[in-house]
């Protein structure tokens, strides 16, 4: 059976025929903000997984995390389309066309030399496009790696609990101290220091239009910094306790 190919990236399948979201992420350019984990946390993604899971004709789970032989997260075709749409309409169109090419057998080996040369040229152009996209995204990748090296991030509400205050009071204090802007986003200098991170929160209005809002999270490094800044030494709480509180409220 031919493999699903997007650009020059072959998309792996697991034993149940689900497709690798990690491979799809790479074929879309590999930007950190498009990581499958970010999409899987969205409310409409969870809802779609539940709807597919409850469908009467379902034989296998629509979503699977396989750390073993296959590695990564694998999803059914419907979820692949949804993930591609979340990344961009252009990438969704590439995925749709790749599935159509797979169905029609367009990915067969070229039968003549001219076709083989054309395919090689197309693949080289795709490799160059991905190289340029990765070079452009390199600063974002470096920042994402720095974030990964910290302890799990928590929301402002949980940070306020650690500091023994309320969420609104903490927001007000952080704005007054010029740490957060008027819209409760951290100033870039504090993001660069690794104290905060922003998470995109897409949502759909009544007319079906997709909008993006942002949620401010405090990294492990930021939790320690805020405790030192606002707490007395004998009232300090460890980062591990902060993470445990975040998981308890998840």
Give yes or no for a contact between 44 and 86, defined as CB atoms under 8 angstroms apart. no
DSSP state letter for 34: G
Q: From CA 5, how far away is CA 208, in angstroms rounded?
A: 31
User: Are 133 and 31 part of one and the same domain?
Assistant: yes
Phi-psi region of 54 (alpha: psi -120 to 50; beta: other; left: phi over 0): alpha
User: Are 144 and 160 part of one and the same domain?
Assistant: no
pLDDT at 250: 44
Q: Which residues contact 130 (CB under 8 A, 6 or more apart)?
A: 7, 8, 29, 30
Q: Which of 11, 203, 200 is nearest to 91 (CA)?
A: 11
Task: Give me the tens of pLDDT residue by residue for the chain, a chain 250 residues long.
Answer: 467 888 778 888 888 889 999 999 999 988 999 999 999 988 888 888 888 888 756 667 888 875 544 568 899 999 999 999 999 999 999 999 889 888 876 554 455 566 556 656 665 666 666 667 666 655 555 444 444 444 468 899 999 998 889 999 999 999 999 999 999 999 999 999 989 988 877 767 777 777 777 889 998 888 889 988 887 544 444 444 444 444 444 4
User: Are 98 and 184 part of one and the same domain?
Assistant: no
User: Are 64 and 163 part of one and the same domain?
Assistant: no
Q: Which of 148, 180, 200 is the last residue of a domain?
A: 148
SS3 (DSSP) at 74: strand
- The number of folded domains in the chain is 2
User: Are 128 and 171 part of one and the same domain?
Assistant: no
Q: From CA 192, how far away is CA 179, in angstroms rounded?
A: 12
DSSP state letter for 84: H
pLDDT at 215: 87
User: Are 52 and 23 part of one and the same domain?
Assistant: yes
Residue 164 belongs to what domain range? 154-248
């Amino acid at each position: 059976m031919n493999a699903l190919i997007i650009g020059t990236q072959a998309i792996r399948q697991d034993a149940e025929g689900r497709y690798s979201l990690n491979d799809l992420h790479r074929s879309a350019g590999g930007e950190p903000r498009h990581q499958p984990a970010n999409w899987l946390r969205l409310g409409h993604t969870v809802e779609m997984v539940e709807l597919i899971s409850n469908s009467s004709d379902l034989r296998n789970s629509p979503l699977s995390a396989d750390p073993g032989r296959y590695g990564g997260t694998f999803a059914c075709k419907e979820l692949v389309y949804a993930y591609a749409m979340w990344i961009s309409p252009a990438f969704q169109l590439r995925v749709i066309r790749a599935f159509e090419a797979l169905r029609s057998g367009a990915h067969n080996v070229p039968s003549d030399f001219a076709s083989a040369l054309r395919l090689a040229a197309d693949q080289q152009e795709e490799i160059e496009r991905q190289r340029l996209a990765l070079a452009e995204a390199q600063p974002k990748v470096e920042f994402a790696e720095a974030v990964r090296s910290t302890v799990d991030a928590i929301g402002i509400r949980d940070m306020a609990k650690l500091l023994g205050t309320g969420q609104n009071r903490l927001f007000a204090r952080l704005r007054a101290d010029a740490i957060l802007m008027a819209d409760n986003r951290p100033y870039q200098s504090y993001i660069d220091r690794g104290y905060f991170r922003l998470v995109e929160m897409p949502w759909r209005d009544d007319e079906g239009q997709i909008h993006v809002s942002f949620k401010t999270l405090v990294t492990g490094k930021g939790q320690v910094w805020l405790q030192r800044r606002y707490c007395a030494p004998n009232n300090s709480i460890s980062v591990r306790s902060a993470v445990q509180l975040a998981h308890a409220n998840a």
